[in-house]
Structure 1
């Protein structure tokens, strides 16, 4: 498939797909005329890249994991595992922070809800 179809199937803009290639997150084949060509596996890769980016991972961190997704070997697997563990730890810390912020917000909501209920009764 060409870049337009990959864009339509993934929701990623053509510009984003070109950026993913620039960063080494996606690799296309080229036709003799230089047009990019993708297959169904690229749809899954783009979805994975988008999920990682949405979670706050940098394109650099994702690029460290890409080699083990395509052609794993011992060295690549070790490097990728290190990057994956770092990102997992970072995500876990972010999740913990978000959960704490939500709990504090829930408490403030309850306090204000109770206050308004008390005032309304008067």
Structure 2
């Protein structure tokens, strides 16, 4: 199928599909006229990419995880380094959440102090 059809079938813009290809997430064959041609599995692959992006993974991480994905709503099968990659990503998210909690507590303290001063 050509890129326009893949876009219609997945709801993903052609621009994003080209980006996924540039990132090594999506494979396309080039026809003699230069058009991209995608295989039957491309629809499922795009759905997998979108689900993994929604889970907060970067395209760089998705490139490593994608070979482990099965089905349009992906389940991840054991692959080399999969657990280490997911644990690393989860640890990074936990660290960002801790930093946000600290920032929130600071801002809340400033707001409470300012409210007391204004009263």
TM-score class normalised by the smaller sequence: 0.5 to 0.7
Number of the residue aligned with 1:27: 27
Number of the residue aligned with 1:6: 6
Could you tell me which of 45, 50, 56 is aligned with 2:58? Answer: 56
Of the two, which has the highest radius of gyration?
Answer: 1
Q: Does 1:16 align with 2:14?
A: no
What residue ranges of structure 2 are gaps of 5+ in the alignment? 71-76
What residue ranges of structure 1 are gaps of 5+ in the alignment? 71-76
Number of the residue aligned with 2:84: 86
Residues 1:64 and 1:101: Cα distance change in structure 2 (over 3 Å): closer
TM-score, normalising length: structure 2: 0.64
Residues 1:50 and 1:44: Cα distance change in structure 2 (over 3 Å): same
Residues 1:88 and 1:16: Cα distance change in structure 2 (over 3 Å): same
Deviation at 1:47, TM superposition (A): 3.7
Question: RMSD across aligned C-alpha pairs, in angstroms?
Answer: 3.2
Distance 1:117 1:57 in 2: 44
TM-score, normalising length: structure 1: 0.63
